[in-house]
Amino acid sequence: MALMGKPLESFLSSLSTPRKASARVALVDIHEPVRGLLADCFRHFRIESVPMTHNAADRLKREKFEACVINLGSEAEKVMEAARSSPSNSRMVIYGLGGTAQDAMRYSRLGINAMFNEPVERPTAMKLVRATQMLVVHEFRRYVRVPVITEVSITCADGRRFAATSKEISSGGMSLKSNEDVAVGAQVEVSFALLTLPRTWVRGVVSWRGKSVFGVRFDPNDDRRIQIKNWVEAYLET
């Protein structure tokens, strides 16, 4: 009976021992009750939340974090610049809070990855954390797309031009948000810049279309896509 009890004791002990957090996310200038809500969402995926209300820029220069949620207030740009200039946090996942994707365009050079739109509701917040948590915890083999918000210029084969907002990018294509009418199969050229990636142009084809969103598959014969592929691989390996 003693031998039978050992495995049971070990099993029960493992249940009572909390799992160690796999990553840390800084919550910068996020106030209650939103701070508690976001902390619960990240905790679900074993990501520890660290509230910051003072000296956030200095801490992000000195301490290692895998992600941060930044209130897009007056200090947001300073905090993001501190994170992106830090060797240990330059590739961290940055979530914006307090605006729309258009508001995030002001910080596109600093690479906001995703937005928590206000009012923050648990189901939508959990959905966003679930969609990005593999990138936060560095499970890159299961996450080959990089969520990032930046302005993208689209040129259609008929000469029409319009602006869209990126949602995710991979070495093979990207998803974008726009209300423009663009048909599946349309030939386009996209142009954008990302953090350390200078402005790049690449041909592609619209591969799918949804409500206010569409996907572009890069032309495999366009050698300019190699720059994008190298950037994505470097981002995931850092």
Task: Delineate the domains of the chain, giving CATH numbers in brackets.
Answer: 19-140 (3.40.50.2300), 146-237 (2.40.10.220)
* pLDDT computed for residue 12 by the predictor: 46
* pLDDT computed for residue 53 by the predictor: 85
**Three-state secondary structure call for residue 237:** helix
- Tell me how far apart the alpha carbons of residues 54 and 190 are, in angstroms, rounded to a whole number: 40
> In this structure, what token pair is assigned to residue 91?
């590739």
The terminus-to-terminus CA distance of the chain in angstroms comes to 51
Q: Locate tokens 């810049």: which residue?
A: 193
Q: How do the pLDDT tens digits run along the chain, 238 residues long?
A: 444 455 555 544 444 444 556 799 999 999 999 999 999 999 999 999 999 988 899 999 999 999 999 999 878 999 999 999 998 898 899 999 986 667 777 888 888 999 998 899 999 999 999 989 988 987 655 557 889 999 999 999 999 999 999 999 998 999 999 999 999 999 999 999 988 888 999 999 999 999 999 999 999 999 999 999 998 888 877 6
Strand 161-169 and strand 146-147: pairing? antiparallel
* pLDDT computed for residue 166 by the predictor: 94
Other residues' Cβ atoms within 10 Å of the Cβ of residue 51:
16
Cβ-based neighbours of 2, under 8 Å, separated by 6 or more: none
> In this structure, what token pair is assigned to residue 102?
């258009």
* pLDDT computed for residue 108 by the predictor: 80
> In this structure, what token pair is assigned to residue 227?
């720059």
Q: Locate tokens 């979530």: which residue?
A: 95
Other residues' Cβ atoms within 10 Å of the Cβ of residue 182:
18
* pLDDT computed for residue 82 by the predictor: 93
- Tell me how far apart the alpha carbons of residues 117 and 215 are, in angstroms, rounded to a whole number: 22
